[in-house]
Structure 1
Amino acid sequence: MTDSEVVFESSKRLGYATLNRPKALNSLNLNMVSLMRDQYLTWAGNVDIKCIVLKATGGKAFCAGGDVKAVVQDMLESKFDYGIRFFQEEYALDHLVATMPQPQVALLDGITMGGGAGISINGTFRVATEKTLFAMPECGIGLYPDVGAAHFLNQLPGHMGMYLALTGTRLKGVQVKEAGLATHYLASHQLPSFLQELEGLGSKAGSSEAVRQLLSEHEGKESQPEPSGLLDLREGIDTCFAGSSCQAIYTALQERGDSWSQDTLKALHKGSPLSQRVSFRALRQGVGRSLPDILRTDFRLSHRMVSGPSDFAEGVRALLIDKGNTPAWRHSSVDQVRDQDVDLFFSPLSPEEELQLADSSAQAHAKL
């Protein structure tokens, strides 16, 4: 393995992209995003590459998200260009993953959070293993679930997406498939044989149906884990997180009063009230909208999280830079957040600042 932060290889009609920053849990930085975008554009125009496999080194993490510490360290010095460019490039990559002509198989064999979800969940196939640990923990650091989350979380059953977005709840192993985030579940030791057979498909690896069938065959070779109990929580999740506002969700949980709702309230109280209000609106407004529309809204939100009044810098400083500190959020509760505070994040940027997106075929053609 080279020193490159992302390693690219091709073998028997497959393109392999391997995240290679294990000491940082393969967190995405601007260099990694740029490397991936360039290579994916090359593959998009290469008729010999039929399928893309996205995986990671280190054995612990697939991708623990974006490297927000680098963004915030600049913000603390009143420098905003890096953060704005990072989110701009990241969302362009997420869109590229979603519009590639080839199917992508992401092997979520480890920690998968935030930005790691963006480059995988927006793709064709996502394979969870017993090592998978999934979360969208952004409200806990004063951000919001971005990378198209208002698109893919809204596709989960019931109000599971809102629950995961506001609480940052961690899903383990087969729970990631039960929630609808992973398309398949394989034991970690099955991955090498699956990849060998995927290579054996040759040109058929370009068929999503052929890849889906192969994944299903490998699922059937070993007994699947017993149900985790996650879906037993659906009634409570759907009842409490169906509320018309963040305040209504808090009230529903308080009135329910069982151990699950009390634990859920504890999780909510750790997050930024401002971020929760922004996240709630982003998900509710995202219902039925396309991924490109969602990503354009994400960029408006992130642009203002970086350059305007938000809890982002404080959350990252307290929890990831100084580590273990209690963040001093701008508001003590969601009730104190004014509607106009939230409105600001969603208002349009200037035309030249808005996120510009093109599908993979157009970008690949432009690169030639």
Structure 2
Amino acid sequence: MGHGLVLFKFKMLKLRILPQVTAVLKRTMSTQEPDVLFETVNNAGIITLNRPKALNSLNTSMVTKLLPQLQEMETSKTLVIIKGAGDKAFCAGGDVKAAIDKVEGPIFFHTEYNVNYLIGKYKIPYIAFLNGITMGGGLGLSVHGRYRVATEKTMIAMPETKIGLFPDVGGSYFLPRLQVNLGLYLGLTGDRLKGKDVVKAGIATHFVSSKRLYELEKLLLRCTSDIEVDNLLNKFNEPPEEFSLAPNIKHINYCFAASTVEEIIERLEKVQNDWSVKTIETLHQMCPGSLKITMRALQRGAQLDLPQCLKMEYRLACRATENHDFPEGVRALLIDKDNNPQWKHKTLAEVDDDYVEDYFKKLPQDRELQFFDAKL
């Protein structure tokens, strides 16, 4: 068969196949869209967490891209804005289904904590738009930065004790530094704060209505100095309202000043109002081991700087992947969804000091958390 005829037949075939191939390619391309987007406008860096269907939850692929890009932007840009795709979430946390893996988990945490560390010492203005759900890892990407903008759609929480983990991503650093023992309350109960409450609690720095975010972003991109950024955010900021926890702040301060989880519960029992009853119920739904590990991590974190907290948390996170409670919590709440976790300890009384302390022990030197800029 002549070469020309083969070519002709191939071309005809190609014409028939092409529309189908293009359709398939289009579909693949739309599912293959990058999970983090990086843009530069007027020398400002814009980062968009781009997994809206998964509420922009963080996975290893995303944190691995964030680390070098944030390093590069710090030296070359005037400011960085980080936001989430869609309007449901900034970032609903880490992808814990991957994090429970004994191999993948430590790799994910290692990179994620390096990102938290970098944000904590970032030299240029770093502005996080906390529009929508912001939990766990989402707070790690925002709370250590200079500016955190909440909207009426913002809902924050550190719900890790419910899945057999502890508030990580620098939670042991920022939670104990919130006013009136609020951090210990939020870290142990996983309670959610919304809208202006997030500013009141000290987690966000500014409150801006979500419909004004687009305008704010456009104007931020024109800022050429730290002072301009600061002035602009203050101009957009709306005054806070009464804190929804205000009626119980004195109780939070008293109950969560206790030095053990058991004593917190005893104090809550003395308060005897709707809030205290609900708080006791909540604590009884949490993993007993996690409550005690969290309590100790926050007590110690109060005396440490952010890098030291992250090193401590990395030990805890690695141990969590090797122990029973974290994989079991993820199984019960997120995989099988039977909401019936079988914790290693049924009660707080069963969680002894040795069990808690084992989590805090140093890892072998080659497995400890290393920061990307560590001097060898």
State the TM-score, normalized to the length of structure 2: 0.89
SS at 1:180 equivalent: coil
- Matched residue pairs, number? 346
In the alignment, which of 208, 211, 227 is matched to residue 186 of structure 1? 208
Q: Does 1:172 align with 2:194?
A: yes
- Deviations, residues 204-240 of structure 1 (Å, cap 9, x unaligned): 1xx1x432221111125xxx46324223321010010
Offset of residue 324 of structure 1: 3.9
- Deviations, residues 118-168 of structure 1 (Å, cap 9, x unaligned): 010011110000000100000000000000011111111010000000000
- Deviations, residues 273-309 of structure 1 (Å, cap 9, x unaligned): 00000000000011131100000001000010012x2
Partner Cα separation in structure 2 for residue 125 and residue 18 of structure 1: 16
Aligned counterpart, 1:71: 99
Q: Does 1:42 align with 2:72?
A: yes
Aligned counterpart, 1:14: 44
> Cα RMSD (Å) of the superposition?
1.7
Partner Cα separation in structure 1 for residue 332 and residue 89 of structure 2: 23
Offset of residue 333 of structure 1: 1.7
Aligned counterpart, 1:342: 356
Q: Does 1:316 align with 2:330?
A: yes
Partner Cα separation in structure 2 for residue 279 and residue 61 of structure 1: 25
SS at 1:352 equivalent: helix
- Give me the identity figure in percent: 42
Q: Does 1:276 align with 2:291?
A: yes
Aligned counterpart, 1:87: 109
Aligned partners of 1:178 and 1:231 also within 8 Å: no
Bigger Rg, structure 1 or 2: 2
Q: Does 1:267 align with 2:285?
A: no
1:82-231 mapped onto 2 (5 Å cutoff): 82-201=104-223, 203-204=224-225, 207=226, 209-220=227-238, 224=239, 226-231=241-246
Aligned counterpart, 1:256: 271
In the alignment, which of 214, 231, 238 is matched to residue 253 of structure 2? 238
Aligned partners of 1:274 and 1:310 also within 8 Å: no
Aligned partners of 1:174 and 1:185 also within 8 Å: yes
Partner Cα separation in structure 1 for residue 210 and residue 338 of structure 2: 32
- Deviations, residues 92-139 of structure 1 (Å, cap 9, x unaligned): 111111122211100000100000000100111100000001000000
Partner AA of 2:141 in structure 1: I
Partner Cα separation in structure 2 for residue 149 and residue 339 of structure 1: 22
Offset of residue 13 of structure 1: 2.0
Partner Cα separation in structure 1 for residue 347 and residue 123 of structure 2: 45
SS at 1:244 equivalent: coil
- Deviations, residues 167-214 of structure 1 (Å, cap 9, x unaligned): 00011111111111001101001111111221222x21xx1x432221
| Runs (5+) with no aligned partner, structure 2 | 1-29
Aligned partners of 1:178 and 1:230 also within 8 Å: no
SS at 2:58 equivalent: coil
Partner Cα separation in structure 2 for residue 263 and residue 210 of structure 1: 45
Q: Does 1:52 align with 2:65?
A: no
Higher relative contact order (CA 8 A, sep 6+): 1
Stretch of structure 1 that moved more, 224-233 or 281-290: 224-233
Partner AA of 2:295 in structure 1: F
Partner AA of 1:312 in structure 2: F
Aligned partners of 2:200 and 2:240 also within 8 Å: no
SS at 2:46 equivalent: strand
Partner Cα separation in structure 1 for residue 186 and residue 211 of structure 2: 28
